[in-house]
Amino acid sequence: MPVSSAVQVRRLTGSIGAVLDAIDLRAPLAADAVARLRATIVEHQVVFVRDQHLTEDELRTFAARFGPLGVSPLHQVLGTGRTTSVIEDTADRPPAGFDWHTDLSWTAAPPALGFLSAVEIPAWGGDTMWASLSAAFDSLPPGTRAACRGLRVRHRPDRTLLESVARHHGDEVARRLRDAHPPVDHPLVRLHPVSGQRLLSLSPLYTEQVVGLERDTSAQLMATLERTLEDPHHQVRWRWAEGDVAVWDEAATCHRALTDHFPHRRVMRRCVVERGRPA
Ligand code: SIN
C-alpha cells in the first residue's frame, strides 16, 4: 500500500522489510498519512527511512503520532519518566550482544511498535537483523503448527539483561527491576491484531519454558522453533548509516543487533509505542 503518492515503498526481501523513499519524518503528518504509514509497517513488518537525522525530540514527536510512548521498565524503576533511551557502545562499554528478542516480551503488555534512530555508526559492523514471526510460523510443518496452538510460553527478564542493568545502574536497580517483573505467560501462537496473520511469538532471549511441558520437552520444542529464526529467508539485515530510522511491528518480528563493531563507537536512540491503540 503506498503511504502517499510521493512516498515510494521498496521491498527488501520476500518476507520482511521495506525502505521508504521520499518521506520526511519531521514533516507534519495528517491522520490519514499516519494510518497509511501504519498499514505499511504492518504489511512489511519493519521499514527503514534513510537520511533523517532526527533529534531526540523529533524522534519522540514522530513516534508519538502512532500512540502513547512507553516508559521502559528500567526508567520506571529509575523514576525518570523518560520515553527515549540511548544505546551507546564504546571500547569501555561493549555492545550488549543480546540474542533474538521481542522488546519487553517479559512484560504483561509488550509494546506495539519499536523505533531506532542511528546517531553514530561505525565504519563497519553493528548491523541489526529482524526476523518475521509470520514467515517463521508459515515455515512449520502442519503437525508442528497444530502442536503449538494453545501453548503458552513463560517470559522473564534475562540474566544478561539484568547483568547489563547492574553494570550500568547498580545491583539495587537490577534487583528492583527483577522484583517488579515476575515471569509472565504469553501465547506461543498469536493472531496479528491488524493483519490477522498467525505469528510464532518467539523471543529466545526472554523465554524460560513452555508452560506445562517437562523442561527437556520444552527445551527441544523451543530449540526446533527458534531454528526458524536463523533461516535467512525469514530475515532482513540492515546496514546502518547515520540518520537512518527503523520502525518495526513488535508483535510480528523479533530482532538482534550484531556486536562486530566492538571496540568502535555506535550510538542509537530508541523508543517504543504502547499497545494503547491498534497498531
Ligand atoms: C536491541 O536489541 O533492541 C537494540 C537494537 C540495536 O541496537 O540495533
Is the pLDDT at 1 greater than 60? The verdict is no
For residue 214, the model assigns a pLDDT of 97
| Residue-wise pLDDT tens digits, 172-187 | 999 999 999 999 999 9
Mean pLDDT, residues 41-66: 98
| Residue-wise pLDDT tens digits, 127-174 | 999 999 999 999 999 999 999 999 999 999 998 889 989 988 999 999
pTM over 0.75: yes
- Mutation probe of ligand 1 site: the residue of 85, 205, 256, 271 with most atoms within 8 A of C-beta: 256
| Residue-wise pLDDT tens digits, 201-227 | 999 999 999 999 999 999 999 999 999
Tell me how far the alpha carbon of residue 257 lies from the centroid of ligand 1, in angstroms: 5
**What are the DSSP calls for the chain, one per residue?**
--SSSS-EEEE-SSSS-EEEES--TTS---HHHHHHHHHHHHHHSEEEE-S----HHHHHHHHHTTSPBPPPHHHHHHT---S-EEEEE-SSS------SB-TTTTSSS--SEEEEEEEE--SS---EEEEEHHHHHHTS-HHHHHHHTT-EEEE---HHHHHHHHHHH-HHHHHHHHHH---EEEESEEE-TTT--EEE---GGGEEEETTS-HHHHHHHHHHHHHGGG-GGGEEEE---TT-EEEEETTTEEEEE--TTTTS-EEEEEEEE-TTS--
Q: Which residues are catalytic?
A: 101, 103, 255, 270
Tell me how far the alpha carbon of residue 146 lies from the centroid of ligand 1, in angstroms: 32
For residue 253, the model assigns a pLDDT of 98
Q: Domain-by-domain residue ranges, the chain?
A: 8-273
Q: Whose CA is nearest to atom 4 of ligand 1?
A: 257
Confidence bin at 68 (pLDDT 50/70/90) = very high
Give the CATH architecture of domain 8-273.
Answer: 4-Layer Sandwich (3.60)
Tell me how far the alpha carbon of residue 128 lies from the centroid of ligand 1, in angstroms: 7
Using the atom order of ligand 1, give the atom closest to the CA of residue 240: 8
Is the pLDDT at 278 greater than 50? The verdict is no
The mean pLDDT of the chain is: 94
